[in-house]
Amino acid sequence: MSPDTSARTQMVCPHCGATNRIPTERLGDGPVCGRCQQALLDGHPLALTDASFDKVVAGSGLPVVVDFWAPWCGPCRMMAPQFEAAAAQLKGRALFVKVNSDENPQLSARYGIRSIPTLLKLQGGREVDRVAGAMPAAQVAAWAQR
Catalytically active residues are 73, 76
Q: Specify the 3-state DSSP secondary structure of 5.
A: coil
Is residue 18 within 8 A of residue 35, CB to CB? The reply is yes
* Whole-number Å distance between alpha carbons of 63 and 119: 13
Instruction: Find, among 35, 39, 135, the residue nearest to 95 by Cα.
Output: 39
- Residue 5 CA: distances (Å) to CA of 1, 8, 21, 70, 121: 12, 9, 13, 44, 29
Q: Specify the amino acid at residue 62.
A: L
